[in-house]
Amino acid sequence: MVTGGESGIGRASAIALAQAGWDVAILYYRDAAAAAETAKAVTDAGRRAAQVQADVGDEAAVEAAFDAAVAALGPIACLVNSAGLNMRGTPVADMALAQWQQMLRTDLDGVFLTSRRFVRDAHARKQGGSIVNISSIHAVDVRAGGADYCAAKAAVKSLTETMALEEAPHGVTVNCVAPGMILTPMNARAVADADYRRALEANIPAGRAGTPEEVAALVVFLASPAARYINGATLTIDGALSLLLAQDA
């Protein structure tokens, strides 16, 4: 099950998981046609695909989406939480409560709701599994104008670690991937405007932004048997961007 599977890192993860031999349920929000494109790529890779719709912040919708995915594909052995909103550059002084709550509902409540359902099913089946949460380097390295986003992602890191402790005895791993700048629709301006992108990329030690496929490869690894002993970890994938602290003064 991949949330946000109709776009960006979620789509790339769904396709990479299929190429690695997984059947994939694509949880999408509003764009059924985009989800269908991901589903086609999954079936083109020779695996089965299911499309399920939900707002990840809606408890009943998440439960119904899991019911539909299990009915279509069978028990879910891996959950990738990629659904999320981006920061909007709003300082706290100017931030409406509604903006704060929408971010927390999507980026944190969503991970709670899908993960809770996933582990309840895993416990019932006694077969373990893996959860991979797409966090961000901004969970730790905060940015002005992103208090809602940074708080949500920091809480996802904490939720990941708490669940890893709780779930390790059940054979479930719970890990975070923390990307830096990745070229997805979330960074639409950088994708469309080469000058703007190059200006940002000049700040990244690797000299370029990352691709959703590079993040997806890490997701596939964390979902694989080779990663069974990695639990509660946050794996940063940012071209060394987050190491650029306290360098120049």
**C-beta of residue 14 within 8 angstroms of C-beta of residue 42:** yes
Q: Find the radius of gyration of the CA atoms of the chain.
A: 17
For the CB of residue 146, give the shortest distance to ligand NAD in the complex, in Å: 10
For the CB of residue 119, give the shortest distance to ligand NAD in the complex, in Å: 19
Residue with tokens 């990629």, as numbered in its chain: 82
Q: Which of 28, 149, 196, 229 is catalytic?
A: 149
For the CB of residue 170, give the shortest distance to ligand NAD in the complex, in Å: 25
Closer Cβ to ligand NAD, 47 or 153, answer by number:
153
Residue with tokens 């939720």, as numbered in its chain: 159
- Count CB atoms within 10 A of the CB of residue 45: 18
Closer Cβ to ligand NAD, 31 or 166, answer by number:
31
Closer Cβ to ligand NAD, 77 or 186, answer by number:
186
Q: How far is CA 116 from CA 45, 81, 111, 246, in A?
A: 30, 12, 8, 39
Q: How far is CA 151 from CA 33, 162, 171, in A?
A: 32, 16, 29
Q: How far apart are CA 228 and CA 221, in angstroms?
A: 10
Phi, psi of 51 (to 5 degrees): -110, 125
For the CB of residue 90, give the shortest distance to ligand NAD in the complex, in Å: 16
Nearest residue to ligand NAD by CB is 8
Closer Cβ to ligand NAD, 128 or 145, answer by number:
145
* Catalytic status, residue 196: no
For ligand NAD, the binding residues (CB under 6 A) are 3-4, 6-10, 29, 55-57, 82-85, 106, 134, 136, 179, 181-182, 184-187
Residues labelled catalytic: 149
